[in-house]
Amino acid sequence: MPFLWVVLLAVMTLSACGPAASDRDPTAAGGAEPAAGRGVREWAHKGEALAPRVPAAEELKLATGISHSMAVPILMYHYIRVNPVPDDRVGAGLSVTPEHFSAQMDALAARGVHSITPTQLVYAMQVGAPLPPNPVILTFDDGYADFATTAVPILVAHHFVAVSYVITGKIGTPNYMTAEQLKQVEAVGMVIGAHTVHHLALAKVSPASANAEIVQSKAALEQLLGHPVVDFCYPFGSFNAQVVAMVQAAGFLDAVTTVAGLSHPPATVFTLTRQRVGGGDTVENVLQKASL
Ligand SMILES: [Zn+2]
Cβ atoms of 255 and 273 closer than 8 Å: no
Q: What structural domains and CATH numbers belong to the chain? A: 67-289 (3.20.20.370)
Query: How much is the pLDDT for 127?
Result: 84
Distance 195 CA to ligand 1 centre (A): 7
Residue 250 CA to ligand 1 centre (angstroms): 19
Give mean pLDDT in consecutive 10-residue pieces for the chain, a chain of 292 residues: 38 34 34 33 36 46 63 97 92 95 98 96 89 96 98 98 98 98 98 98 98 98 97 98 97 97 91 96 96 94
Per-residue burial over 126-164, b = 16 or more CB atoms within 10 Å of its CB, e = otherwise: bbbbbbbebbbbbbbbbbbbbbbebbbebbbebebbbbb
- Cα-to-centroid distance, 57 and ligand 1 (Å): 25
| Amino acid at the residue 106 | D
| pLDDT score, position 65 | 54
14 C-alpha to center of ligand 1: Å? 38
Ramachandran angles phi, psi of 20, nearest 5° = -65, -25
What pLDDT shows up at residue 198?
98
Position 290 scores a pLDDT of 96
Handedness of CA 117, 121, 126, 131 (dihedral sign): positive
Ligand 1 centre distance from Cα of residue 199 (Å):
6
pLDDT of residue 68: 79
161 CA → ligand 1 middle, Å: 20
At 121 the pLDDT is 95
Task: Give the three-state DSSP class for 52.
Answer: coil
> Any idea how long the chain is?
292
- d(CA 158, ligand 1 centre) in Å: 25
pTM: 0.80
- Per-residue model confidence (pLDDT) at position 267: 84
From ligand 1's centre to the CA of 66, what distance in Å? 31
Q: Residue 289, Cβ neighbours under 10 Å: how many?
A: 18
